[in-house]
């Protein structure tokens, strides 16, 4: 049997190519949108991809099922509860699919979504025992799938489904069964996934508290609280994946834009997304731009601040950076990418166009400002847990997800310094505030890490202080 795992860094998506070189057939499970890697691996190993499986309706990335179907003629399989609008074959409990020595058995395991399945994999070339479980977003390495993405009205049912899937549906498989999930570290589909790419049922039953014979009421309490906010583009990706995403060959061309073209796009309500680092952005940026940096998980933050229906112009240091970010953005359903600013910020300035700036304060500078100006607002945008662990005395707490959703109740002429753990989120928050019309915004470079390294004092409240 041929078995290979693929990972999308940042989003933490895992996908699988499974087949049999002797038979020459294979399938792909939970493919991402850019499918060349599967086609190349199949060709190199004498395999023809005949089938594609999505274990559930994905909310955090665009499926590659349509790309593979278009390029290989493969049949797409999803659970009927997905209500897919594209050609597909429905998956049902107990179905078995054969690719030479490889066999996949369908197990209905709702909980993360109402339409989730797991796939039991057997390598008949070695044994008739089930070798592994492809658990989708039911069971991760060190974590389990969050049940809240289907909506608040289904949460109670989903928690019960999740418990039954973990404790009843998986009960027949022995401890040595390998577990290969659809997501790993970096994904927002859980809360504390390990960086390891696989595990075993026995290890999880022994070391994952949520699988350690936990009573349902305790399980329910844990699984109905404390989840990260769902990025706004998740709903858009669910709709796109249900309808069937457009093929990349039909996507809007991503082109180099001159200054007048960027101005025209902005007048037509395109969003400026600046992917440069914090210091470069802080020094000078196009008015209204949002700074999300250029890291593998930047697209998760893009999903927090820019609607997937918006047209986007990327501002970058180079064409290569802009095109790599565009590739990442398309994975998350951002297809309305107009292009990137040629010659970057310097080219904009040389045309005599206005620039804005987001001053980057050091820990020492912020301490000086706080001593001199008593009405200066230190806005801490970290999570509740980070705030409780220690924060700058006198700071106002507004987690970045709340800030983006609700704004902040402060006059637009107030002087504000945004603070996070490292400076990354504070730049996002600072650029967001600037785009909302706040005139005097600063960002603490290095965040609380720099503040603590400078041996500045922190407060640890009994209860949080929020704006």
State the catalytic residues.
420
Tokens of 444: 């603490």
- Residue 130, number of CB atoms within 10 A of its CB: 18
Do 91 and 77 form a contact (C-beta atoms < 8 A)? yes
Q: Give first-to-last CA distance, the chain, whole Å.
A: 57
**How far, CA to CA in Å, does 373 sit from each of 121, 313, 447?**
64, 37, 20
CA–CA dist 58, 52 (Å, integer): 14
Core vs surface per residue 144-172: b (16+ CB within 10 A) or e: bbbbbbbeeebbeebbbbbbebbeebbee
Do 111 and 190 form a contact (C-beta atoms < 8 A)? no
Core vs surface per residue 433-446: b (16+ CB within 10 A) or e: bbbeebeebbbbbb
- Residue 268, number of CB atoms within 10 A of its CB: 9
CA–CA dist 119, 93 (Å, integer): 10
Tokens of 349: 């300035």
CA–CA dist 324, 438 (Å, integer): 31
CA–CA dist 61, 436 (Å, integer): 28
């Amino acid at each position: 049997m041929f078995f290979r795992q693929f990972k999308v860094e940042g989003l933490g998506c895992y996908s699988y190519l499974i087949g049999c070189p002797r038979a020459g057939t294979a399938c792909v499970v939970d493919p991402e949108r850019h499918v060349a890697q599967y086609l190349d691996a199949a060709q190199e190993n004498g395999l023809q991809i005949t089938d594609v499986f999505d274990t559930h309706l994905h909310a955090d990335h665009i499926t590659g099922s349509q790309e593979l179907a278009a390029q290989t003629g493969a049949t797409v399989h999803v659970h009927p509860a997905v209500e897919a609008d594209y050609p597909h074959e429905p998956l049902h409990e107990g179905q078995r699919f054969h690719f030479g020595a490889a066999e996949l058995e369908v197990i209905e395991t709702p909980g993360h979504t109402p339409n989730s399945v797991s796939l039991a994999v057997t390598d008949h070339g070695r044994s008739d025992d089930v070798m592994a479980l492809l658990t989708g977003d039911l069971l991760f390495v060190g974590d389990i799938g969050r049940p809240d993405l289907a909506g608040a009205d289904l949460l109670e049912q989903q928690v019960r489904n999740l418990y039954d899937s973990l404790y009843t549906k998986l009960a027949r498989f022995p401890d040595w069964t390998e577990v290969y999930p659809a997501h790993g570290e970096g994904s927002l589909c859980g809360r504390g996934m390990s960086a390891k790419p696989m595990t075993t049922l026995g290890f999880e039953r022994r070391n994952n508290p949520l699988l350690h014979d936990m009573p349902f009421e305790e399980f329910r309490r844990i699984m109905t609280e404390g989840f990260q906010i769902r990025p706004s583009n998740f709903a858009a990706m669910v709709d796109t994946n249900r309808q069937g995403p457009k093929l990349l060959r039909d996507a809007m061309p991503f082109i180099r834009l001159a200054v007048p073209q960027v101005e025209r796009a902005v007048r037509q309500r395109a969003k400026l997304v600046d992917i440069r680092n914090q210091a470069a952005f802080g020094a000078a940026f196009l008015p209204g731009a949002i700074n999300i940096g250029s890291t593998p998980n930047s697209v998760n933050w893009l999903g927090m601040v820019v609607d997937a229906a918006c047209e986007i112009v990327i501002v970058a240091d180079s064409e290569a950076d802009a095109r790599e970010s565009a590739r990442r953005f398309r994975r998350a359903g951002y297809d309305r990418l107009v292009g990137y600013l040629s010659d970057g910020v310097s080219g904009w300035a040389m045309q005599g166009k206005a620039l804005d700036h987001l001053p980057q304060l050091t820990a020492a500078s912020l301490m000086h400002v706080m001593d001199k100006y008593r009405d200066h607002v230190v806005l801490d945008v970290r999570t509740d847990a980070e705030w409780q662990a220690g924060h700058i005395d006198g700071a106002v707490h507004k987690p970045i997800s709340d800030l983006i959703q609700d704004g902040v109740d402060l006059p637009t002429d107030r002087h504000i310094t945004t603070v996070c753990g490292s400076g990354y989120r504070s730049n996002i928050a600072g650029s967001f505030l600037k785009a909302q019309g706040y005139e005097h915004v600063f960002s603490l470079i290095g965040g609380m890490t720099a503040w603590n390294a400078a041996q500045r004092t922190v407060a640890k409240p009994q209860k949080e202080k929020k704006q």
